[in-house]
Structure 1
Amino acid sequence: MQNIYTILLLLYINLAYSQEPSFISHISQKLIKDIGDEAEMACSTKHSQEFNVSWVKVAEDPIDVSIVLSSGSTLIVKDPRVSLITEIKQDSSRYIIHIHDVQEDDASIYRCDVITGINDKISYYTQLLVGNQPFIYENSSRSLVVVERQSVQLACFAGGYPTPKIFWRKPNNPILSMGNILKIPAIKKEDRGNYYCIAGNGVGNDTSRRISISVEFPPVVTALQTSVGQAVLYDAYLECHVEANPQPAISWIYKGIEISNNQHYWISDSVTADDKTDSFLRIMKINNYLYGDYTCKASNNLGAAEIKINVYAYSQKSPYITHITQRFVIDIGGEIDLDCSTRHSREHNVLWVKIAKDQINGSIELVGSTLIVKDPKVSLITQIKQDSSRYIIHIHSFQEEDASVIYRCDLNVKISANSTKSLGVEEAQSTLIIGCFAGGYPYPRVFWRKPNNPFLSTGNALDFPTLKKKDRGNYYCIAENGVRNDTSRKVSIEVEFPPLVTISPTKVGQAVNYDAYLVCRVEANPLPSITWMYKGVELSNNQHYWISNFATADDKMDSTLLINIKNYLYGDYICKASNTLGAAEITITAYSKYCFHKHMHKIKHYIHNAILTVKINQQSKLLSFYSSSC
């Protein structure tokens, strides 16, 4: 009997050792797919015919339930995009999950299980990552109000795959900082304005958030002229410029008494931009007792400031016309001089006006020393002296159409259709004159200004001897005479010019496997096309490069090239911009830089792998935290 038990025990041991253990021989590596792609994840097993093999989509959050996709040869999940392919053989088998039209929700960790017992299983993991364009989390900074010299910190957090790169910009400025945090240790009033947190990962468009910083500061008061001369019974004009936040209270003071609008004074404030105000004081028909120091004072809850402007007397006589050419008779083809002589007109504009027969209004031939009419037969001769001047229009080769025409010499005219309207011109045009003509009683004063600028010029004509791109923008012709409100006309000048490309710095050093950022700034009108070149080949977004263009202001763009640097990617990169007027380019060199943190990179790599299979949300945050530039 004992021999029988011995034989049965030997047979059982032999049978147990003759059955080879089941195991997973292979599982697909991590997959990276875009939305709409196809994805396949395969799990290969050995000696698993007697056991159940299943695919499970692992829940990202412990409170969620993992989803069983398949069990053996049966597809469990009810999703028309998901299918199961099985290849079952005697010794080895493959279980393939196929996902058609991949969506963002498919991104997860997937587990292949071989169930070997009630509480026993063999598990291998893989991961499907789905590229999605960046988004900015709601816990990022919002607009804020701070006091000057306060320390400010802006935070911006972004999600998406691949992990977005975050950088900060301000309009008309290059990149301010890279990373989630922008620090301004002691903020100044010049730092106020809009800041943009921009997140990009090469998938779709970059995402940005605007954060407005309003900086409160005490008033700063300046004046274009601190000394103004005027004759008795003429109007004197005083102006001061105030910069402050919150909005200041502005007052004018004479001999210790605050001035208000009356028969002697007229005060007008004009807000030219955020935190900037221009204040004007008009002293009407000044008398001897109104000369002296006038104080422009501004105050808000943070402080006060003031500036003094001295008004002094000087002699000036009323302007008048002493002589003008009378009716004349001339033969066709002949020449004629039209002479207008004036006295004391240096502070006024002398105009020649040509009025055709049966017309009430005419065309402006000249303004002061500037010839307006574009006629090769007409030229201008001026003889301007301290007390007397002559403005002579010379017409040669007189034609029949010039007959029966009235020529009038004026010291002022009403607003007419001849005043300049908006226009577009090319840079380097030899000259540009814009005109503005106003009338009323008393005679109005005409002056020109540009937003955020003091007076540009006084008079009917604003002259640009050589137009430059910096001259583009809006100009305002303002006429005022103290009767009701000022009258103004906006003239927009759009200047077209070929691209200008600049960079800072010209060389960028970075270690292998780190990101290098190359930035070029382009200024052009019309809008240029911008390309990046490397070794004669135009670059596009791929696994090595990410290109982002950002308009910082009218006619200005910044282009950023992000390189995931490798040994074979060092060298010269060209940023090129072109439009209908020309092209320009500049070279930036990417060179190898030793990284002192390489030993840390390996540690971070191990931490990354350990966290990766636990929780995707944590993985994303840790990757952002550990992604450091060399």
Structure 2
Amino acid sequence: MALTRGLASFAAFFLRCFDFTATRAEVLFILLVGVLFVSNAVQAGPEKPNFLKPISNITVAVGREAILECSVQNLNSYKVAWLRVDTQTILTIDTFVITKNHRIGVTKVEQTTWYLHIKDVQESDKGWYMCQINTDPMESQLGYLDVVVPPDILDYPTSADMIVDENADVFLRCAATGSPLPTITWRREDSQPIKLINGSEVLEITGEFLNMTKVNRDQMGTYMCIASNRVPPSVSKRISLLVQFPPSVWIQYQLIGAYQGQRVTLECHSQAFPKSINYWAKNSGEIIPHSTKFVPEIIGENYKVHMKLTINYLGEQDFGIYKCIAKNPLGEMEGSVNVYKIPHPNLAAPSKDKSGLHDKLDQGNQQWPDTSQKVTMKIPLQEDMNTSQASKSRPTDCITFYNIISLFILYRLFFCSFT
């Protein structure tokens, strides 16, 4: 009677759980296993089997192997089976694999522990698993398999590289999947701060969206969106933001004084995106090519350009206005430098042999003395020197004569007073 009940129970369970695409041989094999499973279940034993400990819940990264453990004591002739709960699928009975999933396996250690192996774990393997003993009624316990998935950034709807006009609003998005759900962090590849809508600047910001208003050329660059969920490895995507604007030109020294024969270097700074065409030209519009006399040089960095023009041995015809010109599809800009002539310092200074003066630079201003102010000296003639000596000797002679007369008068007065 018990055997009949057991076979009926197994048949009902088989019809509910088994895959009907099996061949006749597989069905006969399963029925045979069922008979053994049920026949062992009706055997009376001195003590019923029970579980030694609960099944531990485990967490496994996708692609790895998951192993669930079921420990039983006093099993005697009963059998242990593993089932997938949500699909009601029989996976193994004792040491036999029932499912057609080639990634499923089972191992037994002595007569106490059964291990369910799931190789190359997929996210779909996540769920509850049951370890069951074919007692009447059946004994079972559950264990949960959690499958974690490293983050992955979706090509869509994640933002692609973009080109915008200066002062436009920019909205970037980074969408990612993973288990658990990844956290998105934004930062600039060049480690420069990110300027937010409220005007504040931060080195990094968290969130799926990055919004910036009225972007300028300084915000041009590569932005990194990094997805992480504590399941290695983290992933990132580079999004290039290009800000286009017409050329602008800045010149520090617009007036340069130089003397003939001197070597001078003119400098000009420009900014533009798309990158501009840069060149030097004379005031007449004639482009200045590279030569032994004129040496143009362009140093570029991102959207910034530093232009130089070296003029070797200035000639009379080389003084005048020079233009630095920058052009791109959005516009054109130019700046001018006026090279004017100044006197040669060595020719303008007075001769030391003739003047006898020690000419030197003004220590305070570090400039050449004003050569337009001439220094003159009057050299006295010989007859003027004689006249001067005569005029200087007369007062001395007069003083001596007057002294003699005065002494004579005093002598007479003194002598008469006694007579």
Give, as a single letter, the amino acid of the residue that structure 2 aligns with 1:129. Answer: D
Contact (CA 8 Å) 1:218, 1:303: kept in 2 or not?
yes
How far apart are 1:102 and its partner, in Å? Answer: 6.8
Counterpart in the other structure of 1:128: 145
Distance (Å, rounded) in 1 between the aligned partners of 2:85 and 2:299: 62
Counterpart in the other structure of 2:393: none
Q: Give the structure-1-normalised TM-score.
A: 0.37
Counterpart in the other structure of 1:137: 154
Counterpart in the other structure of 1:155: 173
Taking a change above 3 Å as real, the CA distance of residues 125 and 245 of structure 1, as seen in their structure-2 partners, is farther
Taking a change above 3 Å as real, the CA distance of residues 131 and 231 of structure 1, as seen in their structure-2 partners, is same
Match of 2:278 among 239, 244, 250: 250
Question: After the TM superposition, which residues 18-167 of structure 1 pair with which residues of structure 2 at under 5 Å, given as runs?
Answer: 31-34=58-61, 39-40=67-68, 55-56=83-84, 68-70=89-91, 75-77=97-99, 79=102, 82-83=105-106, 98-99=116-117, 103-104=121-122, 107-110=125-128, 127-139=144-156, 140-167=158-185
Distance (Å, rounded) in 1 between the aligned partners of 2:125 and 2:346: 85
Counterpart in the other structure of 1:503: none
Question: After the TM superposition, which residues 483-494 of structure 1 pair with which residues of structure 2 at under 5 Å, given as runs?
Answer: none
Aligned length: 286
How far apart are 1:38 and its partner, in Å? Answer: 5.0
Question: After the TM superposition, which residues 162-561 of structure 1 pair with which residues of structure 2 at under 5 Å, given as runs?
Answer: 162-170=180-188, 171-173=190-192, 175-261=203-289, 266=294, 268-317=296-345
| CA deviation map 1:365-415 (0-9, x unaligned) | xxxxxxxxxxxxxxxxxxxx878xxxxxxxxxxxxxxxxxxxxxxxxxxxx
How far apart are 1:215 and its partner, in Å? Answer: 1.9
Distance (Å, rounded) in 1 between the aligned partners of 2:103 and 2:278: 72
Contact (CA 8 Å) 2:81, 2:90: kept in 1 or not?
no
Distance (Å, rounded) in 2 between the aligned partners of 1:158 and 1:239: 49
Contact (CA 8 Å) 1:269, 1:277: kept in 2 or not?
no
| CA deviation map 1:343-377 (0-9, x unaligned) | x9x9xxxxxxxxxxxxxxxxxxxxxxxxxxxxxxx
- Give 3-state SS (helix, strand or coil) of 2:246's partner: strand
Contact (CA 8 Å) 1:110, 1:127: kept in 2 or not?
yes
Distance (Å, rounded) in 2 between the aligned partners of 1:288 and 1:297: 24
Distance (Å, rounded) in 2 between the aligned partners of 1:307 and 1:209: 41
Taking a change above 3 Å as real, the CA distance of residues 84 and 223 of structure 1, as seen in their structure-2 partners, is same
Q: Tell me which structure has the larger Cα radius of gyration.
A: 2
Distance (Å, rounded) in 2 between the aligned partners of 1:85 and 1:300: 76
How far apart are 1:246 and its partner, in Å? Answer: 1.2
Taking a change above 3 Å as real, the CA distance of residues 111 and 283 of structure 1, as seen in their structure-2 partners, is same
Contact (CA 8 Å) 1:220, 1:244: kept in 2 or not?
yes
Taking a change above 3 Å as real, the CA distance of residues 112 and 154 of structure 1, as seen in their structure-2 partners, is same
How far apart are 1:127 and its partner, in Å? Answer: 4.8
Counterpart in the other structure of 1:622: none
Contact (CA 8 Å) 1:229, 1:236: kept in 2 or not?
no
Which structure has more RCO (C-alpha within 8 Å, separation ≥ 6)? 2
User: Structure 2: any 5+ residue segments left out of the alignment?
Assistant: 1-12, 14-53, 73-79, 133-140, 193-201, 348-358, 369-419
More strand by share: 1
Distance (Å, rounded) in 2 between the aligned partners of 1:68 and 1:134: 30
- Give 3-state SS (helix, strand or coil) of 2:232's partner: coil
Contact (CA 8 Å) 2:97, 2:104: kept in 1 or not?
no
Contact (CA 8 Å) 2:289, 2:296: kept in 1 or not?
no
Distance (Å, rounded) in 2 between the aligned partners of 1:57 and 1:275: 62
Greater alpha carbon shift after TM alignment, 176-185 vs 34-43: 34-43
User: Structure 1: any 5+ residue segments left out of the alignment?
Assistant: 1-21, 45-51, 59-65, 87-93, 115-123, 320-343, 347-384, 388-630
Contact (CA 8 Å) 1:106, 1:128: kept in 2 or not?
no
Distance (Å, rounded) in 2 between the aligned partners of 1:151 and 1:386: 53
Counterpart in the other structure of 1:470: none
Give, as a single letter, the amino acid of the residue that structure 2 aligns with 1:76. Answer: I
CA RMSD of aligned residues (A): 5.1
- Give 3-state SS (helix, strand or coil) of 2:218's partner: helix
Give, as a single letter, the amino acid of the residue that structure 1 aligns with 2:164. Answer: V
Contact (CA 8 Å) 1:43, 1:112: kept in 2 or not?
no
Taking a change above 3 Å as real, the CA distance of residues 313 and 126 of structure 1, as seen in their structure-2 partners, is farther
Contact (CA 8 Å) 1:111, 1:125: kept in 2 or not?
yes
Taking a change above 3 Å as real, the CA distance of residues 230 and 163 of structure 1, as seen in their structure-2 partners, is same
| CA deviation map 1:529-555 (0-9, x unaligned) | xxxxxxxxxxxxxxxxxxxxxxxxxxx
Taking a change above 3 Å as real, the CA distance of residues 152 and 318 of structure 1, as seen in their structure-2 partners, is same
Counterpart in the other structure of 1:534: none
How far apart are 1:179 and its partner, in Å? Answer: 1.6
